[in-house]
Amino acid sequence: MSRTWNFYAGPATLPPPALERAKADIPDWEGTGMSVMETSHRSPEYDAVHEEAIALMTELLGLDDDHQVLFIQGGASMQFAMLPMNFIPKEGSADYINTGTWSQKAIKEANIIATCRVAGSSESEGFTRIPKQEELDLDPAAAYVHITSNNTIKGTQYHRFPDTGDVPLVADMSSDILWRPFDANRFSLIYAGAQKNIGPSGVTVVILRKSWLEKANQDLPSMLSYATYSTKNSLYNTPPTFAIYMVRNVLAWLKDQGGLAATEKTNRAKGDLLYGVMAEYPDFYHCPVVEDSRSYMNVVFRLPSEELEAKFVAEGKAAGMVGLKGHRSVGGCRASIYNAMSLEGVETLVEFMKEFAKKNV
Ligand SMILES: Cc1ncc(COP(=O)(O)O)c(C=O)c1O
């Protein structure tokens, strides 16, 4: 397979073995003479894939019996609304920690549905860091505390999750779920659009603490109620079967690689290489993010001018590396290096960065 080094923030690069498996399966999947896309979601063959995807996620995250894996459509953006609809009681409110664009979108949606408070923010510092525990103003009566564990646009990441006491902790982990081992059972709900670290777009993985459902609002349309997905094992209506099949392929690959401990090692090596090259050429590359909040999934950086940034992106593309442009709202450059980006891909980028700095300084 001839592959481009793909640094897009999402949809993002997928592991070649997961793609090869799909390629082989498409004309005749498991001897059915059909692809998974053409198979009933009530068939035993599909059911096996659905269950395997759930089992792999459960195993990789070490989920306990009270946590359930759900597959929901509508993207992480629909979770911004679904979460408060289900879990903010009529007279209650929820706490949100504002760490950038995606947190702001979550806050905006929550305020349409109910009331939420901003319990911490790094907005006054341009979202260049994650607020520290002692800076948070948490309401002990909040319905939950919501964080964005990795800020895809600003390039920041939580390296320690906040202590919220007895208040349920919820995270949007769209851009860093499964990047390293962590205690997923501490969370009452985790959601992640699949298209960065776990598969193609079209499915959002939700990890839900089942016992929390007892507190959920009941008077909701079926498709917007977590209870529907929980009681029907995400098969109330037709799920995005091909996307879930691909999630299965990606998770099986991740397990083959040695699981989360192994992927963390590679991810740290990749991030350290990129932040290292910036330290080596400090007059040329600048990372705006405070050191202890730097992301190992989305590495953002500036060059001395916007002209040089445009040249960097164009020459990078010519050299076989796509997706190096920063998000349009912030400019600059960004390398998204999710689990499926190999160390070799990052080494190629780092060599290019060194040469580019030497030629253009
Ligand atoms: C952290 C984060 N949350 C939410 C979203 C929105 O995801 P979706 O496009 O699946 O709605 C994104 C998309 O990039 C994201 O990076």
pLDDT given for residue 339 in this prediction: 98
Q: Is the CB of 193 under 6 A from ligand 1?
A: yes
* CA-atom Rg of the chain in angstroms: 21
Spatial CB neighbours of 260, under 8 Å, sequence gap ≥ 6: 60, 61, 178, 179, 180, 181, 254
| Structure confidence by residue, pLDDT tens digits, 97-155 | 999 999 999 999 999 999 999 999 999 999 999 999 999 999 999 999 999 999 999 99
Does pLDDT of 1 surpass 80? no
Q: Is the CB of 152 under 6 A from ligand 1?
A: yes
pLDDT given for residue 361 in this prediction: 87
Q: How far apart, in whole angstroms, are the C-alpha atoms of residue 100 and residue 152?
A: 9
| Structure confidence by residue, pLDDT tens digits, 45-55 | 999 999 999 99
Q: Is the CB of 10 under 6 A from ligand 1?
A: yes
- 149 token code pair: 């564990």
Pocket test for ligand 1, best of 174, 298, 300, 338 (most atoms within 8 A of CB): 174
CB 83 within 8 A of CB 191: yes
Tokens 């949100």 found at:
96
Q: Whose C-alpha lies nearest to ligand 1, atom 5? A: 76
Q: How far apart, in whole angstroms, are the C-alpha atoms of residue 76 and residue 174?
A: 7
CA of 9 to the centre of ligand 1 (A): 10
- 2 pLDDT band, cuts 50/70/90, is confident
